Structure 1
């Protein structure tokens, strides 16, 4: 498989914290995934009057359309370029779905945050899960679009270059790192960063540095938004210093942040 990401795209990942890949999976795969998801939604698919909440959270999905969408040969080749061949674990689930609906209500989950990657003292409490400077457990954050998403359809807000700021927050915290809530409570300390919106057609995937700050927002469009945010899991932790074989783009981004 030839390189999927150009040098320019890899440089963008290192400096900006993300790269967008279009047409990763087909409209038919996206449609099959939506058919499964709608069966679990307590609203009528064709009746917007029944869409009474701004967000509905659905559980883990492992059916074929979901697994196929995040395991294409092209996507695997991009993982190799960003994380390193043999250093990541193929996705066996796309995680939970926050399905967002047009609503005058403000959703209660729009705060800036960084996704964490390993359990704290209480593994059942996600707010106690943690992130550390070697990104234990997580190679990438993925934003996987299963519906077309415009600027009106509650696109995820990405804060460009914020992964570098988070690396500098995590560096003094050692292997234990910071919990989800500890990290969220310190994001106000970070510089203001330019925003990018995770828009695109169904089949678009944003590959994001694990430290990238992002946020949800209210839906002001007309069509429900379907997006998954699965992690790409690491086989081992990232290597930030002392590598004898060089550094991958995800590691180079951290090294650049730390000088």
Structure 2
């Protein structure tokens, strides 16, 4: 990221068009290292002994200890939240959510399908019944926090560039009820299959801020060092609005409006 982009914040045009922006050095690499120390202990694996890395993915529960909160609440990220969602329209992050820690492995991780992250209806135990609607109830952004260096072989998350527009058009006829993940996935997310792919690579401390409708997928780890990444939501302080009397739309809302207008 250039000094100019750091000064002026995330590229809002790119976010509306592509569905994500990359924030380099969103939090210090030293802070990421502190977090990895905690995570390594909880994996049950030894960092210095690859023979203990027996599973392709180890899922760890929510993390809200001080180093994780400091990463999520960095001044650079808070300014980016204001720019993308709007001042006063998002809730502070008290946690970075769960970690799917990915290890180098020839095994199929079993979770590498294309999807979006649903945002409400979690009271239902079947995750395929969780829901998303056109106003993205319950989620203002999907965020990818890199707590380790992630190269092209290190299982970076795959992003379908511009796919948030396809999902917006798919959700629009269903109003506030929205669709379940199972309904959205019925065709394997074929509506966005034509989109180019981007990889969420970067140094530890990089954060990708994504539109909540972006279609993304995991992939097997073909590198040499485990990948530590969290993907918490940024929660909205109030529901997104697709119709505002004052026209003060955030880039997240404008992206949805632009997709529907193009339809």
Same fold (TM over 0.5): yes
Q: Which residue of 1 aligns with 2:140?
A: 139
Displacement of 1:5: 7.0
Give distance in 2, aligned partners of 1:256 and 1:125.
Answer: 32
Q: Any idea what SS the aligned residue of 2:79 has?
A: helix
The equivalences for 1:183-202 within 5 A come to 183-186=184-187, 187-202=189-204
Q: Which residue of 2 aligns with 1:61?
A: 63
Q: Which residue of 1 aligns with 2:15?
A: 13
Q: Which residue of 2 aligns with 1:154?
A: 155
Give distance in 2, aligned partners of 1:126 and 1:85.
Answer: 31
Displacement of 1:45: 1.6
Query: Is the contact between residue 10 and residue 21 of structure 2 (CA under 8 Å) also seen in structure 1?
Result: no
Cα pair distance change 1:209/1:5, threshold 3 Å: farther
Query: Is the contact between residue 166 and residue 191 of structure 2 (CA under 8 Å) also seen in structure 1?
Result: no
Give distance in 2, aligned partners of 1:8 and 1:87.
Answer: 17
Q: 1:221 aligns with which of 203, 220, 223?
A: 223
1:206 maps to 2:208: yes
The equivalences for 1:101-116 within 5 A come to 101-116=103-118
Moved more, 42-51 or 183-192: 183-192
Cα pair distance change 1:81/1:258, threshold 3 Å: same
1:163 maps to 2:135: no
Q: What CA RMSD, in Å, does the superposition of the two structures yield over aligned residues? A: 1.7
Cα pair distance change 1:81/1:142, threshold 3 Å: same
Query: Is the contact between residue 4 and residue 77 of structure 1 (CA under 8 Å) also seen in structure 2?
Result: no
Query: Is the contact between residue 35 and residue 147 of structure 2 (CA under 8 Å) also seen in structure 1?
Result: yes
Q: Which residue of 2 aligns with 1:253?
A: 255
Give distance in 2, aligned partners of 1:128 and 1:78.
Answer: 31
Moved more, 45-54 or 151-160: 45-54
Displacement of 1:191: 4.4
Q: Any idea what SS the aligned residue of 2:42 has?
A: coil
Give distance in 2, aligned partners of 1:89 and 1:8.
Answer: 19
| Number of equivalences | 257
Q: Any idea what SS the aligned residue of 1:36 has?
A: helix
Query: Is the contact between residue 9 and residue 79 of structure 2 (CA under 8 Å) also seen in structure 1?
Result: no
TM-score computed with the length of structure 1 as normaliser: 0.95
Point out where structure 1 has 5 or more consecutive residues left out of the alignment.
Answer: none
1:230 maps to 2:244: no
The equivalences for 1:165-184 within 5 A come to 165-184=166-185
Displacement of 1:76: 0.6
Query: How big is each residue's C-alpha offset from its partner over 1:76-118, in whole Å with a ceiling of 9 and x where there is no partner?
Result: 1110010000000011111110000000101100000000111
Give distance in 2, aligned partners of 1:196 and 1:95.
Answer: 23
Query: Is the contact between residue 144 and residue 230 of structure 2 (CA under 8 Å) also seen in structure 1?
Result: yes
Q: 2:35 aligns with which of 17, 33, 50?
A: 33
Moved more, 139-148 or 125-134: 125-134
Displacement of 1:212: 0.3
Query: Is the contact between residue 134 and residue 178 of structure 2 (CA under 8 Å) also seen in structure 1?
Result: yes
Q: Any idea what SS the aligned residue of 1:99 has?
A: strand
Q: Which residue of 2 aligns with 1:126?
A: 127
Displacement of 1:7: 7.8
